[in-house]
C-alpha cells in the first residue's frame, strides 16, 4: 500500500526492469539480481500523471520482447520468475483510492492481463472495463529470451494468451509456469543442471532448487495450452 515511506507500492518487489506498458520494444537487455529480472505488473488504469487518460494498459499487446537475459534472480518468493508477468498495481476504491500492489494473481476487477486486438476504450469509454470478444483475442509473443541461475521460475505468467518461442532456461527451479489458459510454447530448451558452480545468496542451498521443466493448470477452459518441441538436457 502507498505510504509516506513507500510512494510506489510495487517497489517492495524491486526488479532489474519494471515495465507497466507491455506495448514497447524490449530487445537485447540483461538483468541480474532483483525480486525478478523483468517484472511486468498489470495496470487496469494508468496511474500518476496519466491517471485521467482513458485506456486499459492490461489489454495492450507487446511489440517486441526479444533477446533478453535474466539471471541470479527470483530468490525471494517461490512464484517469482526471472521474467515475471504478474501482480497488479491498482487504486482501491474501497480504501480512499489508495494505490496498492498485489504481487500474485489478481482479481479481474483490479486488473488482469487480457491482450486484445481492438481498443475497447476507444470504441466507447463505457466499454473500457469489458473484455473483448473471442475473435478479437490477441497473444503476447515472447521470443529468444533466456533465464539462468534462478531458484524460482524462468518465466512465470499469471495470465494466458502468450506465445513463448525459443525460450531457454538453465539451472532453474522451474523453467516455465503458466497459470492460465491460452499458452503456447514451442522450441524451448531446458537444462536443469549445467554443472556450473551455483553462486547463491547466503543461506541458500542448491539442493533446494528442484530443477523441473514446466507447470500449468487452468489451461483448458477457453484456449488450450499447446507445446511444440520442448528439449530437456
CA distance 61 to 14: 24
Q: Where in the chain are the domains?
A: 9-232
Where is pLDDT greater, at 35 or 47?
A: 35
CA distance 94 to 81: 30
pLDDT band for position 219 (cuts 50, 70, 90): very low
Q: Where are the beta strands (DSSP E) in 55-167?
A: 64-66, 69-73, 81-85, 88-92, 98-102, 140-143, 146-157, 162-165
What value does the mean pLDDT take over residues 216-224? Answer: 46
pLDDT band for position 224 (cuts 50, 70, 90): very low
pLDDT band for position 222 (cuts 50, 70, 90): very low
Q: Among 57, 65, 64, 66, which residue's Cα sits nearest to residue 21?
A: 57
48-59 tens-digit pLDDT: 778 788 888 888
Where is pLDDT greater, at 217 or 23?
A: 23
Q: Does pTM surpass 0.75?
A: yes
pLDDT higher than 80, residue 170? yes
pLDDT of residue 197: 76
pLDDT higher than 80, residue 20? yes
pLDDT of residue 204: 67
Using only the alpha carbons of the chain, give its radius of gyration: 18
CA angle at 195 for the pair 152 and 72, rounded to the nearest 5°:
35
Average pLDDT, the chain: 80
Q: Which of 28-32, 41-45, 52-56, 101-105 has the lowest mean pLDDT?
A: 101-105
What value does the mean pLDDT take over residues 174-198? Answer: 82
pLDDT of residue 59: 87
Amino acid at each position: 500500500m502507498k505510504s509516506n515511506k513507500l510512494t510506489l507500492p510495487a517497489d517492495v518487489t524491486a526488479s532489474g526492469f519494471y515495465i507497466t506498458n507491455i506495448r514497447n520494444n524490449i530487445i537485447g537487455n540483461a538483468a541480474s539480481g532483483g525480486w525478478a529480472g523483468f517484472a511486468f505488473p498489470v495496470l487496469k488504469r494508468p496511474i500518476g500523471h496519466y491517471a485521467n487518460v482513458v485506456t486499459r494498459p492490461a489489454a495492450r499487446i507487446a511489440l517486441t520482447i526479444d533477446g533478453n537475459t535474466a539471471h541470479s534472480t527470483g530468490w525471494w518468493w517461490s512464484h517469482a520468475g526471472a521474467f515475471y508477468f504478474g501482480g497488479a498495481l491498482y487504486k482501491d476504491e474501497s480504501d480512499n483510492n489508495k494505490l496498492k500492489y498485489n504481487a500474485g494473481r489478481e482479481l479481474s476487477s483490479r486488473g488482469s492481463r487480457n491482450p486484445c486486438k481492438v481498443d475497447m476504450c476507444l470504441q466507447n469509454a463505457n466499454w473500457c472495463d469489458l473484455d473483448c470478444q473471442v475473435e478479437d483475442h490477441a497473444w503476447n509473443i515472447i521470443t529468444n529470451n533466456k533465464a539462468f541461475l534462478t531458484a524460482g521460475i524462468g518465466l512465470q505468467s499469471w495470465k494466458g494468451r502468450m506465445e513463448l518461442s525459443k525460450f531457454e532456461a538453465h539451472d532453474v527451479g522451474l523453467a516455465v509456469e503458466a497459470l492460465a489458459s491460452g499458452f503456447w510454447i514451442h522450441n524451448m530448451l531446458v537444462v536443469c543442471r549445467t554443472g556450473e558452480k551455483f553462486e547463491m545468496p547466503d543461506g541458500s542451498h542448491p539442493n533446494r532448487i528442484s530443477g523441473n521443466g514446466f507447470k500449468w493448470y487452468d489451461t483448458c477452459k477457453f484456449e488450450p495450452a499447446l507445446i511444440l518441441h520442448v528439449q530437456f538436457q
